[in-house]
C-alpha cells in the first residue's frame, strides 16, 4: 500500500515534466530569432546556474570524495552539451520535429544501461530499437516541405543529445548515491555554469547582439524562461522522478513531450505532413516496445 503514493507522485511528475520540456523546443526557436545557436546554448546553461546558485552553494558541504567529478559529468552529459546540440539542430529543424526526435532518449537509456550497467534487454527491446531507428531515419529524410529529398544531418545532433540524456540517466541512477535531487541538479549546474558563462562572454558576440539586434531582449527573455523552467526546475523534478522510479520510466517523459511540442509548433504555423507523422508513430511505437514489460 505504501508504494501507491510513490507511484502517483511519479506519474504526476512525469506529466508536469512532459509539459515543461515539451514547451522547451518552441522557446529555443524564439531565442534563435535573435541569437546564434551557441549563444542560446551558453545563455541557457549560464542562466540556469545563476537561478540555482543560492541552492547549490550550501549543498557543497554534502559532497563526499568523488562526488564533484560525478556531478560535473552529470552536468556535462545531461545539461551542457545537449543545450548546444538542440540549439544547433533547431537552426535547420522545426520545434515540432525536435520534440519528436527527442523520444529516442528511452531507447538510448536502454542501450547504455545494457552495455555498461548490466541491465537486461526485454523480448521486445530489439524490435522496438529497430522500429525507432527506422522512424528516426524517416524523419531525418523528411524535409520541411514534407518530401523525402535528402538527409538532414542536423537530426543527428538531436540523436547525439538523446544519447547523452540516456548516458546521464544511467549515470545518476547507478553512480551517484546518497545525494538528493536538489543537490545533484544545483551543484551540477554550479560546476558547468562557469563553462557556459566563459563561452558566452569570451567566445561569442552576445553582449553586442543584446545591445544592437532588434528583438534581442524578447529573445533573451524566452531563453531565460527556458533556463529557469526547462533546465533548472525541470531537472530538479526529473532527478526526483529518477529517485522514485526506474531510468526507463523516467525517460518515458518523452511519450507526452511530442504532443506538447507539436501543439506549440502548430500554434506557431509549423507544418507536419505524412512523412513526419509516420516517422513519429514509428519512434513512439518503438519506444513503447522497448519499454514493454
What 3-state DSSP class applies to 64?
coil
Question: What pLDDT digit, counting tens, does each position of 66-79 carry?
Answer: 999 999 999 999 99
Q: What is the pLDDT of residues 76-110, one digit of tens each?
A: 999 999 999 999 999 998 888 888 788 788 778 88
What is the gyration radius of the CA atoms in the chain, in angstroms? 19
Question: Could you tell me the three cell numbers for 29?
Answer: 526557436
Closest by Cα among 184, 202, 199 to 238 = 184
List, for the chain, all residue ranges whose pLDDT scores fall below the cut of 70.
1-6, 121-125, 139-151, 247-248, 251-252, 255, 272-273, 276, 287, 290-293
| pLDDT at residue 2, as a whole number | 45
Interval 10-50: pLDDT, tens: 888 888 998 898 899 999 999 999 999 999 999 999 999 99
In the numeric block, the cell 551557441 is attached to 38
The partner residues of 142 in beta bridges, in order of sequence, read: 148
Distance CA 231, CA 39 (A): 16
pLDDT for the residue 153: 83
Amino acid at each position: 500500500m505504501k508504494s501507491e503514493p510513490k507511484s502517483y507522485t511519479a506519474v504526476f511528475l512525469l506529466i508536469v515534466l512532459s509539459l515543461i520540456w515539451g514547451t522547451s523546443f518552441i522557446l529555443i526557436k524564439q531565442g534563435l530569432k535573435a541569437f546564434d545557436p551557441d549563444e542560446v546554448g551558453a545563455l541557457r546553461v549560464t542562466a540556469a546556474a545563476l537561478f540555482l546558485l543560492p541552492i547549490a552553494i550550501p549543498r557543497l558541504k554534502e559532497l563526499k570524495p568523488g562526488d564533484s567529478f560525478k556531478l560535473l559529468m552529470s552536468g556535462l552529459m545531461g545539461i551542457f552539451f545537449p543545450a548546444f546540440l538542440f540549439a544547433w539542430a533547431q537552426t535547420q529543424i522545426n520545434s515540432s520535429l525536435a520534440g519528436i526526435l527527442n523520444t529516442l532518449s528511452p531507447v538510448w537509456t536502454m542501450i547504455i544501461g545494457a552495455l555498461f550497467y548490466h541491465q537486461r534487454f526485454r523480448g521486445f527491446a530489439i524490435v522496438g530499437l529497430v522500429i525507432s531507428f527506422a522512424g528516426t531515419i524517416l524523419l531525418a529524410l523528411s524535409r520541411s516541405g514534407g518530401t523525402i529529398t535528402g538527409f538532414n544531418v542536423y537530426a543527428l545532433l538531436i540523436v547525439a543529445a538523446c544519447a547523452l540524456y540516456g548516458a546521464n540517466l544511467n549515470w545518476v541512477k547507478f553512480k551517484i548515491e546518497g545525494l538528493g535531487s536538489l543537490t545533484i541538479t544545483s551543484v551540477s549546474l554550479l560546476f558547468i555554469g562557469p563553462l557556459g558563462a566563459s563561452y558566452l562572454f569570451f567566445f561569442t558576440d552576445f553582449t553586442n547582439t543584446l545591445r544592437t539586434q532588434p528583438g534581442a531582449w524578447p529573445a533573451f527573455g524566452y531563453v531565460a524562461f527556458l533556463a529557469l523552467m526547462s533546465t533548472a526546475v525541470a531537472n530538479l523534478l526529473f532527478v526526483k522522478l529518477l529517485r522514485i522510479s526506474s531510468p526507463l520510466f523516467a525517460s518515458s517523459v518523452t511519450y507526452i513531450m511530442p504532443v506538447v511540442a507539436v501543439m506549440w509548433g502548430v500554434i506557431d504555423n509549423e507544418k507536419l505532413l505524412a512523412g513526419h507523422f509516420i516517422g513519429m508513430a514509428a519512434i513512439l511505437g518503438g519506444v513503447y516496445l522497448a519499454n514493454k514489460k
